[in-house]
Structure 1
Amino acid sequence: MNNDVKLDVHEKPKWNQWLILSMQHLFAMFGATVLVPVLTGLSPSVALVSSGLGTLAYLVITKGQVPAYLGSSFAFIMPVIAAVSIGGPEGVMIGTFTAGLIYGVTAVIIQRTGVNWLMNVLPPIVVGPVIIVIGLGLAGTAIDMAMNYDEASASYINPSLHFSVALATLFITIIASVFFKGFLNLVPILLGIIGGYLVAVAAGLVSFQSVIEAPWLHVPDFVIPFATFTPQWSWTIVLIMAPIAVVTLAEHIGDQMVLSKVVGRNFIKKPGLHRSIMGDGAATIVASLLGGPPNTTYGENIGVLAITRVFSVYVIGGAALMAIAFGFVGKVEALIATIPGAVMGGVSILLFGIIASSGLRMLIDNQINFGIKRNLIIASVILVTGIGGAFIEVGDQLEIAGMAFATFIGILLNAVLPGKEHGFGNRAMFKSLDEAANEDDAA
């Protein structure tokens, strides 16, 4: 155990410290967790509740050994938007449930055979470009929100005013991210939304009437199978959302490696990568049963752990309970609903760009050589088919489109083109996983 650790994984804080420490994690995840449902047309209250319950499920499955918080996944924004347009919020739940199942099946296979097979299917030359597609594919959505695009009239309504608010939001977010220190540096999204919201209020874009009329306590608009709707299977929705789970698995592994370094414990070895992936899948399945977006481990909360040196799972659990409680506060959901699209658009310009840049960073970190034609071909095809919105129809009921199609074709090209070893670059992920797997428990 490191000497500078304030509270270790299984240590319980005093109640007054507990409240403050948990609230820090709530603030860290809040902006991003509610942003995803706002962008996709789902309920922010349900997202908060499913985030909290999903985190508690994760803590149970990982035997209370991994202090990770789970919130709404940005990687699924584009697929969720597409799924909502096809089958409404109910249709999203089918895709979310399937994504959770993929996590579960993968966890079982990893437990029995190890993780190298997954890295062989998803080398950096495939995952990097797909992540770029995830970010750039949403660029149009961010700009439309920032400039107040109205679908009914197919035109921008007062674009100068709204884009000015979006730019103010963007600049506040950038300033918070670059110049703020300590905990404030970890919540630039939340600070950007708050700052942009105040600018929007000054610009006359916000009405508080709905907040005044909203009750303090309410039951979120849960979307529960066989209670609020009867599930109808859709292969199109499944094939839109399920492939993203394959990609986010690589991100999950990266998060676990970073978390292990921050805490000073080998979570890849104990409780095991299979348990953390299973926990992530369970959290996503919980979301699917309530009407929330898919969940994933949050880097913002890992950052809070790194700064505070408080690794207690009790603190994480406290934040999860707070998130659940906030989901039942009617005025919170009403207040979130008053945030103008320009504010969300301003934040999204940075967020979606960062998603794309993280894919580029994966290619750079792994030293992928684009002088090799094989790598150039795979990346090029993934980028154009994914961002361009290519699709194929199989029969009358099945369509493989956009990001899903790009992911499939990337995996296929990687499997059939010669020189497969070039797709791994310097194999940094393999080396790190091998080192983690070979460490002694005493380490």
Structure 2
Amino acid sequence: MAKHPSNSVKYGPAEKPPLGQWIPLSIQHVFAMFGATILVPILTGLNPSTALFTAGTGTLLYILITGAKVPAFLGSSFAFIPALIAISSAYGVGYAMGGAFVSGLFYTLVAFIIKKSGHGWLNTALPPVVIGSVIIVIGLNLAPTAMGMAMNDASGNYSLYCLMIAAVTLSLTIIANIFSRGFFSIIPVLIGLLSGYFFALIMGLIFPAYALIDFKSVQDAAWFGLPTFALPKFNLVATVTFIVVSFATICEHLGDTLTISKVVGKDFYKDPGLHRTLAGDGLATLWASFWGGPPNTTYGENIGVLALTKVYSVYVTGGAAVIAVLLSFFPKFGALIQTIPSPVLGGISMLLFGTIASSGLRTLVDSGVNYEDKRNLTVSSVILVIGIGGGTLSFAMGKELTFTLAGVALATLVGILLNLILPKEHAV
């Protein structure tokens, strides 16, 4: 994979920033992942503090397994939400954690197979036309989430006031990204977030009826708390359900690892190897199951921070993991971060998610993909429509359980199959 020009990279994966920069850079990643990481346990009835603990410790485990070479952050996976809810409702949380445990084992099994078979087949299955298109899908698939946070109020209704907060936040983030110099040039997300937060706070004081920030949850939260421990339980339905979902999340892992590789300019499929990244993801999920935390996955929000700041230091993502663990023990600080208004996060996400999609466009351009070739045009077109259009493959596995392969995972799988099936000799 092509490397970035050396003068564009602020810190490489192995470089450690000075402490005065290190901490703010790590906090920037914490802000990026926080909302989504605690949303999953809220939706599934799990403990948000435990999710923060397992995300942080899971990321540290991932860094260890990948030899501190991949600057990824692992947070709560949205793909497992239906399975977590269904199994918890039918059998109890312990069996849902058992399913997550088995899912982690399945990841490591696939990682072992990849280690033995090599990754050469991936170059055939995932040429630039597939890679670039999937990365675009990953970014644009998140676009509705960003716009929903930016435009809608707490009830889900359109709000011009929320859109104004998001627009101001986005504008300040863009200004910080383009015009800042020195250290400030690598923390535009943090600058934009803090600026947007204080703008929303001031507007709420001027117009109390539109106040978006409420500190009551901070006042009610305890200063100190401990993560829970949940011993996994096992049955056949939970095992099969989570393994089936794992096929989809493994496809997502392929796409996310490709995206990080293109952003950083290093081929992480080769070094540390896809088997290590997959094993790191799987063991982090296995670890989370012992604590009652949701399964983990690499986060697009944090990939967006990497792409925007060009700070690829594993020390920075590792620092974010440590901060997440510390926050899990201090619910009051976690509650304070939860007061960040959704429009502020939406304004920042517009830039972060768009940056991911732009990385996919750069992949197609840099690789010289020829769209006069009908084969390339077909593969790319189908991936984009399925991934961005919300394509879904779904079928019942029982009275209350449904297998679903959708979005990025389905688009990646279809793209790989089309690339393998369509004959090359029919190129124009």
State the TM-score, normalizing by the size of structure 2. Answer: 0.73
Partners of 1:299 and 1:183 lie apart in 2 by 20
Amino acid at match of 1:372: D
Amino acid at match of 1:164: M
1:355 is displaced (CA, Å) by 2.6
1:55 is displaced (CA, Å) by 3.2
Partners of 1:380 and 1:345 lie apart in 2 by 28
Alignment partner, residue 33 of structure 1: 33
Q: Deviations over 1:248-290 (max 9, x none)?
A: 33543664688697xxxx9887766643543343234434554
1:72 is displaced (CA, Å) by 3.6
1:201 is displaced (CA, Å) by 0.8
Q: Is residue 2:419 matched to residue 1:418?
A: no
Q: Deviations over 1:355-408 (max 9, x none)?
A: 322222222222211111111112222222232223344345444343133333
Partners of 1:387 and 1:8 lie apart in 2 by 31
Task: Single out whichever of 272-281 and 87-96 deviates more from structure 2.
Answer: 87-96
Pair 134,83 (structure 1): closer, same or farther in 2 beyond 3 Å: farther
Kept in 2: contact 1:132–1:360 (CA 8 A): yes
Amino acid at match of 2:418: L
Q: Is residue 2:363 matched to residue 1:362?
A: yes
Give SS of 1:414's match: helix
Q: Deviations over 1:398-437 (max 9, x none)?
A: 4434313333322221221101898xxxxxxxxxxxxxxx
Pair 226,277 (structure 1): closer, same or farther in 2 beyond 3 Å: closer
Q: Is residue 2:56 matched to residue 1:52?
A: yes
Structure 2: 5+ residue runs without aligned partners?
1-10, 205-211
Partners of 2:272 and 2:166 lie apart in 1 by 44
Kept in 2: contact 1:94–1:238 (CA 8 A): no
Kept in 2: contact 1:33–1:48 (CA 8 A): no
Task: Single out whichever of 246-255 and 398-407 deviates more from structure 2.
Answer: 246-255
Kept in 2: contact 1:252–1:277 (CA 8 A): no
Amino acid at match of 2:349: S
Kept in 1: contact 2:288–2:296 (CA 8 A): yes
Identical residues among aligned pairs (%): 38
Alignment partner, residue 335 of structure 1: 336
Give SS of 1:369's match: coil
The within-5 A match list for 1:94-173 is 100-101=104-105, 103-149=107-153, 156=157, 159-173=159-173
Partners of 2:25 and 2:70 lie apart in 1 by 10
The within-5 A match list for 1:35-434 is 35-37=35-37, 40=40, 42=42, 45-62=49-66, 65-66=67-68, 68-72=70-74, 79=79, 100-101=104-105, 103-149=107-153, 156=157, 159-204=159-204, 205-220=212-227, 224=230, 226=232, 233=238, 242-249=247-254, 251-252=256-257, 255=260, 274-287=275-288, 289-290=290-291, 291-292=293-294, 294-296=296-298, 320-395=321-396, 397=398, 398-403=402-407, 404-419=409-424
1:66 is displaced (CA, Å) by 2.4
Kept in 1: contact 2:31–2:337 (CA 8 A): no
1:162 is displaced (CA, Å) by 0.9
Kept in 1: contact 2:100–2:242 (CA 8 A): no
Partners of 1:9 and 1:325 lie apart in 2 by 24
Pair 10,391 (structure 1): closer, same or farther in 2 beyond 3 Å: closer
Pair 232,22 (structure 1): closer, same or farther in 2 beyond 3 Å: farther
Amino acid at match of 2:334: E
Partners of 2:342 and 2:358 lie apart in 1 by 23
Pair 355,293 (structure 1): closer, same or farther in 2 beyond 3 Å: farther
State the TM-score, normalizing by the size of structure 1. Answer: 0.71
Pair 330,186 (structure 1): closer, same or farther in 2 beyond 3 Å: same
Cα RMSD (Å): 4.5
1:39 is displaced (CA, Å) by 5.7
Give SS of 2:404's match: strand
Pair 203,41 (structure 1): closer, same or farther in 2 beyond 3 Å: farther
1:208 is displaced (CA, Å) by 1.2
Partners of 1:39 and 1:116 lie apart in 2 by 38
Kept in 2: contact 1:129–1:359 (CA 8 A): yes
Give SS of 1:379's match: helix
Q: Deviations over 1:12-53 (max 9, x none)?
A: x9xxx7x65752453242122213325656566444422331
Kept in 2: contact 1:186–1:300 (CA 8 A): no
Kept in 2: contact 1:36–1:293 (CA 8 A): no
Pair 111,350 (structure 1): closer, same or farther in 2 beyond 3 Å: same
Give SS of 2:73's match: strand
1:316 is displaced (CA, Å) by 7.1
Partners of 1:68 and 1:224 lie apart in 2 by 29
Kept in 1: contact 2:55–2:321 (CA 8 A): yes
